[in-house]
């Protein structure tokens, strides 16, 4: 990103804050999007496409975004981290001001955002898309320092590479344990995709090793498909201890490499701790988070139910049965952009109908998927139509075909969000 664009964005909004609104305020409205991930980047682009007169600013501290989807393949050594990384150059080229700083404060009364560098930005409407924060207060013993020993790898980047290096350094015959929280969590099937791909790595490199999943849930998404694949591809390699079998982790001891559950203690050579989650901290600072830790929204406009002129999309929002995924964040981003543009133009926002697909790759050339369609029911998103779900007893050609589709899905969603 060029410095010129950063300064351009700040200047434009300083002016908007100082001078009275022009009579064309409607088309010159300033919209700020916080968070340049799948939700925020897609929303900023959609806003500019709907109306090129809208002044759109995207605030994101990282100059390079590292995507989580397919990061389990990086952990398993099947893909390099560079395939996960995207710049904001295309977004800047479309006339969006990208400010490479973190937002640290939001005053909904004056509609001013404070940035980490000390500057202030005014908004007419604000879209929050900060993703998740990991709850380092949830499991005694698991804090940020402990994550340097037992990586979470639930935000892609250095943590992803740390977990991969630990697997590479482990002796054949070692145990890899995953601690999985109860929901809501980012990408509910991803822990099981990760366990599968780790098993693939072990099967090919360290065949005497095993994977243990300690789970705070009894059931999990696409369970029959995963369990069928484990039987077929990794017999005897993956053991899962569910909630009712005592699998819920209650505390962690990073020094002695130990996970403590309701019924026992487990020591493993490599431990991936996926802690409970909540909306990104800035949403809390804005006052948009309720006691669940997430942001309640009006599902038609994505407007916060707690703070005026603020919309929330992506993992940070909670609005019913739509899962926290890049697919959902991207679909919500477009619907939210359309609602925001309608509201600015004084028009009735359209009622959204969102669709999302979720692919799980459990080995190279072996994937399955589930898709759904979501609409507003009683003030929440509800799944109104089951899309396609891969059959449990599908032939291998179908799994191979789905693995190709998964790659295609990743290419198109990342082009859609980042160009």
Applying CB under 6 A, which residues contact ligand FAD?
A: 34-40, 59-62, 65, 68-69, 71-72, 102-103, 129-131, 154, 186-187, 190, 280, 282, 314-316, 324-327, 329, 358-359
Instruction: Between 338 and 361, name the residue whose CB sits nearer to ligand FAD.
Output: 361
The CA distance from 101 to 298, in Å, is 28
C-alpha 359: how far from chain center: 14
Is the backbone peptide bond immediately before 271 cis, with ω within 30 degrees of 0?
no
Residue 316 CB, shortest distance to ligand FAD, in Å, is 6
For residue 174, what are its two tokens? 């070692």
Residue 85 is inside which H or E element, if any? strand 85-87
Instruction: Between 261 and 327, name the residue whose CB sits nearer to ligand FAD.
Output: 327
> What is the radius of gyration, based on Cα positions, of the chain?
22
Closest-CB residue for ligand FAD? 37
> Tokens 């490599």 identify what position?
270
Q: What are phi and psi of 117, to 5 degrees?
A: -80, 0
Instruction: Between 60 and 215, name the residue whose CB sits nearer to ligand FAD.
Output: 60
The CA distance from 354 to 367, in Å, is 23
Instruction: Between 147 and 253, name the residue whose CB sits nearer to ligand FAD.
Output: 147
Instruction: Between 12 and 260, name the residue whose CB sits nearer to ligand FAD.
Output: 12
The SS3 of residue 24 is coil
Residue 26 CB, shortest distance to ligand FAD, in Å, is 27
Residue 181 CB, shortest distance to ligand FAD, in Å, is 12
Residue 403 CB, shortest distance to ligand FAD, in Å, is 12
Residue 59 CB, shortest distance to ligand FAD, in Å, is 5
Instruction: Between 208 and 411, name the residue whose CB sits nearer to ligand FAD.
Output: 411
DSSP classification of residue 365 = T
- Would you call 243 exposed, middle or buried from its count of C-beta atoms within 10 A (0-12, 13-18, 19+)? middle
Identify any residues that bridge with 343 across adjacent strands, giving them in sequence order.
none
Instruction: Between 278 and 324, name the residue whose CB sits nearer to ligand FAD.
Output: 324
DSSP 379-394: TEEEEEEEEEE--TT-
Residue 23 is inside which H or E element, if any? none
In 3D space, the residue among 28, 246, 10 whose CA is nearest the CA of residue 122 turns out to be 10
- Number of Cβ atoms within 10 Å of the Cβ of 307: 20
Residue 113 CB, shortest distance to ligand FAD, in Å, is 9
Instruction: Between 136 and 262, name the residue whose CB sits nearer to ligand FAD.
Output: 136
Residue 101 CB, shortest distance to ligand FAD, in Å, is 7
Residue 198 CB, shortest distance to ligand FAD, in Å, is 12
Instruction: Between 253 and 352, name the residue whose CB sits nearer to ligand FAD.
Output: 352
Is the backbone peptide bond immediately before 407 cis, with ω within 30 degrees of 0?
no
Residue 99 CB, shortest distance to ligand FAD, in Å, is 9
């Amino acid at each position: 990103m060029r410095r010129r664009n950063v300064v351009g964005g700040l200047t434009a909004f300083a002016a908007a804050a100082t001078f009275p609104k022009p009579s064309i305020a409607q088309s010159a409205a300033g919209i700020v999007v916080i968070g340049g991930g799948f939700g925020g980047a897609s929303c900023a682009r959609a806003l500019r496409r709907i109306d090129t007169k809208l002044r759109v600013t995207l605030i994101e501290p990282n100059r390079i975004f590292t995507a989580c989807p397919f990061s389990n393949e990086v952990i398993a050594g099947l893909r390099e981290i560079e395939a996960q990384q995207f710049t904001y150059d295309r977004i800047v080229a479309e006339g969006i001001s990208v400010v490479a700083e973190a937002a640290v404060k939001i005053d909904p009364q004056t509609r001013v955002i404070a940035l980490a560098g000390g500057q202030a930005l005014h908004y007419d409407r604000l879209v929050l898309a900060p993703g998740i924060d990991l709850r380092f207060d949830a499991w005694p013993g698991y804090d940020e320092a402990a994550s340097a020993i037992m990586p979470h790898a639930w935000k892609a980047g250095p943590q992803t590479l740390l977990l991969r290096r630990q697997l590479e350094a482990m002796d054949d015959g070692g145990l890899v344990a995953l601690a999985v929280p109860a929901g809501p969590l980012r990408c509910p099937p991803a822990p099981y995709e990760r366990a599968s791909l780790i098993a693939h790595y072990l099967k090919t490199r360290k065949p005497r090793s095993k994977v243990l999943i300690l789970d705070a849930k009894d059931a999990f998404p696409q369970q029959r498909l995963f369990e069928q694949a484990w039987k077929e591809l990794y017999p005897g390699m993956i053991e899962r201890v569910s909630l009712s079998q005592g699998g819920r982790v209650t505390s962690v001891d990073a020094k002695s490499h130990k996970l403590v559950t309701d019924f026992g203690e487990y020591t493993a050579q490599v431990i991936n701790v996926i802690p409970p989650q909540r909306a990104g901290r800035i949403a809390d600072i804005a006052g948009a988070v309720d006691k669940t830790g997430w942001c309640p929204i009006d599902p038609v406009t994505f407007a916060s139910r707690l703070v005026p002129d603020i919309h929330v999309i992506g993992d940070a929002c909670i609005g019913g049965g739509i899962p926290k995924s890049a697919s959902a964040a991207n679909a919500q981003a477009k619907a939210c952009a359309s609602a925001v543009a309608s509201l600015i133009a004084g028009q009735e926002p359209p009622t959204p109908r969102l669709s999302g697909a979720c692919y799980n790759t459990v080995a190279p050339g072996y994937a399955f998927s589930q898709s759904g369609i979501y609409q507003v029911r009683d003030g929440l998103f509800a799944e109104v139509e089951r899309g396609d779900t891969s059959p449990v007893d599908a032939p291998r050609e179908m799994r191979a075909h789905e693995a190709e589709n998964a790659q295609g899905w990743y290419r198109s969603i990342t082009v859609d969000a980042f160009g």
